[in-house]
Amino acid sequence: GQQVMQIPQYQHVQEGEDFTTYCNSSTTLSNIQWYKQRPGGHPVFLIQLVKSGEVKKQKRLTFQFGEAKKNSSLHITATQTTDVGTYFCAGPVETSYDKVIFGPGTSLSVIP
Amino acid sequence: EAQVTQNPRYLITVTGKKLTVTCSQNMNHEYMSWYRQDPGLGLRQIYYSMNVEVTDKGDVPEGYKVSRKEKRNFPLILESPSPNQTSLYFCASSLWGLNNSPLHFGNGTRLTVT
């Protein structure tokens, strides 16, 4: 069945270093969304990408959607302790746009 | 304040004792869904609903029931809970579904079944 993978599973960085997480789907996605979950919290929507090759920026965060719409990345420049959390990508299931599949997430730790 | 409200936040129960986790949203969203979150597995969809009286199975529906009698409410029912249903559960809603709008999540319900 359709799978969404994320790498790495965990990432520990020194504050000020950059961070990137990659999301890869086994099938083409009509769109991809990114969520952040702080420790002990609930997932919070960050952004949605729809177009092939799309790049969006939110302050220090840069999101990309691959040309084939099967992969995406989230890059954080100069991490801060407020960036700590787990980042999930999510997309609609190919056969049913109402079903959602989430990646397993990348857990980011920032060492001050 | 626009929000998704889940209750209870924590629940400890015994095998076989029926329970209901409530979920309510005040944003007039059409789409509502339930997820369970387990370490290393991320969020897996249990059930979803596109509208009142319309519900469909997600990836892991076994052992769960839902109902959508009103637009704002989407309770999750465990008729006979088992220990493998110990998990963190999230309810979420969106205006039209993932294709067009973001998911808004509740604060979660941590369920332990002994």
pLDDT tens, residue order, chain A (112 aa): 778 999 999 999 999 999 999 999 998 888 999 999 999 999 999 999 999 999 999 999 999 999 999 999 999 999 999 999 999 999 887 667 677 889 999 999 999 9
Average pLDDT of the residues in B67-86 = 97
Residues 6+ apart with CB under 8 A from B1: none
> CB B45 to CB A92 under 8 A?
no
pLDDT of residue A97: 66
B31 at the A interface (CB within 8 A)? yes
pLDDT class of B40 with cuts at 50, 70, 90:
confident
> CB B59 to CB A88 under 8 A?
no
Write the CA distances from B26 to A52, B73, B89, B104, B106, integer angstroms.
34, 9, 19, 11, 12
Query: Residue A43: is the preceding peptide bond cis (ω within 30°)?
Result: no
Low-confidence winner among A5-19, B1-15, B93-107 (lowest mean pLDDT): B93-107
Which of B50, B98, B106 is facing A100, going by the closest CB pair?
A: B98
Half-sphere exposure of B67 (CA within 13 A, CB side): 8
Low-confidence winner among A73-82, B39-48, B65-74 (lowest mean pLDDT): B39-48
> CB A91 to CB B98 under 8 A?
yes
Residues A21 and A8 sit within 8 Å (Cβ to Cβ): yes
pLDDT of residue B96: 83
Which of A45, A97, A105 is facing B97, going by the closest CB pair?
A: A97
> CB B31 to CB A98 under 8 A?
yes
> CB B42 to CB A43 under 8 A?
no
pLDDT class of B62 with cuts at 50, 70, 90:
very high
Residues B48 and B58 sit within 8 Å (Cβ to Cβ): yes
